[in-house]
Amino acid sequence: MVEQGGGAAGAGCMGCPLRQRGEWCVLNEEETRFLSRHLKKRRYRAGETIFSAGEPSHGIYCVTSGTAAIRKGDAEGNTVLLRLAYPGDTLGYRGLLLGENRRYHAEALGPSKICFVDRAVVKLLLERNPALGQQFLRRIASDMDEAHDHLVRNATLSNRDKFIHLLRALLNRHGRTATDGGRFMELPLSRRDLASMIGARHETLSRIIGRLEEDGIARFSGRTVYVARSHSLLNEIGPSTLLD
Amino acid sequence: MVEQGGGAAGAGCMGCPLRQRGEWCVLNEEETRFLSRHLKKRRYRAGETIFSAGEPSHGIYCVTSGTAAIRKGDAEGNTVLLRLAYPGDTLGYRGLLLGENRRYHAEALGPSKICFVDRAVVKLLLERNPALGQQFLRRIASDMDEAHDHLVRNATLSNRDKFIHLLRALLNRHGRTATDGGRFMELPLSRRDLASMIGARHETLSRIIGRLEEDGIARFSGRTVYVARSHSLLNEIGPSTLLD
DNA sequence: CGGATTAATTGACGATGGTCAAATTTTGAA
DNA sequence: TTCAAAATTTGACCATCGTCAATTAATCCG
């Protein structure tokens, strides 16, 4: 299950399509080889846990393919899906930087490949290449922005509008253009998870979906969503960031 | 209005009570003197703007005394009070790190003293003392945690419970213990701002406050709040972080 | 001190959201 | 394929929230 080296089979990180993206893009060839030798790549099945709240942070994870979900729970046992992570995204830097235990739960949403980089390796690379630290700073800062945007929307919009926002963000990642010019996608999430992302109950989300269909804005069938181009009036909410 | 050197008059940062707190605590004597020579300390009156969304980020701000409010607006013109900043807190590192324009609006809530550190000075200190970078990382990471906790609560709790949480957080900062063992405080915020922090209209907040009084949980009079010790049953919500 | 402006409260009422329960569909494992 | 478990949808009903409008404080300047 665990193999050494990331990216394309046998080529290690050198051939990894993500070498150009994410924070690692600042590494030179030698550093990349070093990373390549020391990371552990692993496949996850749908629903499999990557790490859980409460456990110590031994390193960071880097999504190579697939989609991961970051969940966070509160004292009362409620659980919220905070965000999704896609290829090129880095997970778990928070616990690593602060030397704290994990506060989130991360799991693969579908079959995924995710690389693990041990704390010691990260530390070494950070010392060797200060630009990497910069990259992480930028990443965290932009994650902050995302979280704050999310906060503002949650405080401001109705559940319906929050869901439309979410749909738009998901369409950006998972959508395809249909032959008739409309857009469709396979939702990567259950209704429950979608509901938790907008802070509503799943029953409420069901009704919101019903209303969207009545209004001719979108059609839902299981996890398939279709949005007519003319009704890409998801623009009724305004511009969006990639994912929120 | 602008004077050189921070902290106690004439002593610069060396005598600043914040030298032990915040990210600057890792600076040695020489570095602190350098910082002291190059920062600009300024007084702000109540309501005065520290920086606004859209303007370029020339440096960071460090609250020496008083309270600052961080606001963020969305496309529709709604405004949300994201958080409060207290002595020892650093403002504006995001824009500085990302080299982007400010995305927030920061203003003094009451008479405050706030130091400004130019981007170049920060850069120099960061190069000279890598531990400072670590400090910033920790700060950002913990701000992230705060934002995420906030997100979970907003998605999970009723407005009433969100407000109780907010009250608790504010009591931690602004509360005093009364002679009878209860706690009271002077709210630093208007009802409108309080409402925006929990994502509700001010009319709704008025009614929540009314209900809290009916239930004997707290008494409000203008900006003064009193919470009987026996009713510090604000514990009905569970533990809290300092401010959220 | 007084008048004007802004903030806060209150009422009425419709819209939205949550809860409980039941029916239906989907999914997963044998 | 078939059955059981889990997810989703729907209905009924009530609580909460937002909106509009009208009052009633507070506050700010001059």
Residue that is last in its domain, among B147, B170, B202: B147
Same domain as B166, residue B118? no
**Above 90 in pLDDT, residue B158?**
yes
Q: State the pLDDT confidence band at A11, using cuts at 50, 70 and 90.
A: low
Same domain as A135, residue A102? yes
Q: Which residue is nearest to nucleotide C27 (CA to C1')?
A: A222
Same domain as A190, residue A76? no
Chain B CB contacts of A72 under 8 Å are 148, 151-152
Listed range (A226-240, B25-39, B180-194) with the worst mean pLDDT: A226-240
Same domain as A79, residue A57? yes
Same domain as B63, residue B37? yes
**Above 50 in pLDDT, residue A24?**
yes
Q: Give rounded-to-5 percent helix, strand, coil for chain B.
A: 45, 25, 30
pTM of this prediction?
0.90
Q: Distance (Å, rounded) from C-alpha B111 to C-alpha B114? A: 10
Residues 128-187 of chain B sitting with CB below 7 angstroms of strand D: 158-160
Assigned domain for B244 exists: no
Q: Distance (Å, rounded) from C-alpha A226 to C-alpha A185? A: 7
Q: How many CA atoms lie within 13 A of B88 on its CB side?
A: 9
Assigned domain for B6 exists: yes
Identify the domain containing residue B199 by its residue range. 155-236
Same domain as B106, residue B172? no
- Model confidence over A173-219: pLDDT tens digits? 999 988 888 899 999 999 999 999 999 999 999 999 999 999 989 99
Same domain as A115, residue A14? yes
Chain A CB contacts of B234 under 8 Å are none
Across the range A78-101, mean pLDDT stands at 92
Residue that is last in its domain, among A147, A171, A188: A147
Assigned domain for A243 exists: no
pLDDT computed for residue A9 by the predictor: 46
- Model confidence over B53-62: pLDDT tens digits? 999 999 999 9
Residue that is last in its domain, among A96, A116, A147: A147
Assigned domain for A242 exists: no
Assigned domain for B243 exists: no
Q: What Cα–Cα distance (Å) separates residue B45 from each residue in A162, A174, A207?
A: 37, 49, 49
Burial-class residue B2 by CB neighbours within 10 Å (0-12, 13-18, 19+). Answer: exposed
Nearest residue to A104 via CA among B138, B155, B149: B149
Angle, helices B119-128/B29-38, rounded to nearest 10 degrees: 170
pLDDT computed for residue A235 by the predictor: 58
Q: Distance (Å, rounded) from C-alpha B68 to C-alpha B87? A: 9
Name which of B76, B152, B238 is nearest A80 (Cβ-Cβ).
B152
- Model confidence over B67-95: pLDDT tens digits? 999 999 887 778 999 999 999 999 999 88
Nucleotides of C under 7 A from a protein CB: 7-12, 16-21, 26-28
Assigned domain for A168 exists: yes
Please indicate whether, in this complex, the C-beta atoms of B152 and A74 are within 8 angstroms of each other.
Answer: yes
Domain with residue B220: its CATH number is 1.10.10.10
Domain with residue B124: its CATH number is 2.60.120.10
Across the range A66-71, mean pLDDT stands at 95
Whether the CB-CB separation of B39 and B92 falls below 8 Å is answered with no
Same domain as B107, residue B61? yes
Same domain as A115, residue A232? no
Count of domains observed in chain A: 2
Same domain as B44, residue B140? yes
Between B17 and B244, whose confidence is greater? B17
Same domain as A186, residue A110? no
Assigned domain for B241 exists: no
The single residue listed with the structure tokens 């032959």 is A179
Please indicate whether, in this complex, the C-beta atoms of B75 and A239 are within 8 angstroms of each other.
Answer: yes
Assigned domain for A241 exists: no
Same domain as B106, residue B11? yes
Q: Distance (Å, rounded) from C-alpha A202 to C-alpha A207? A: 9
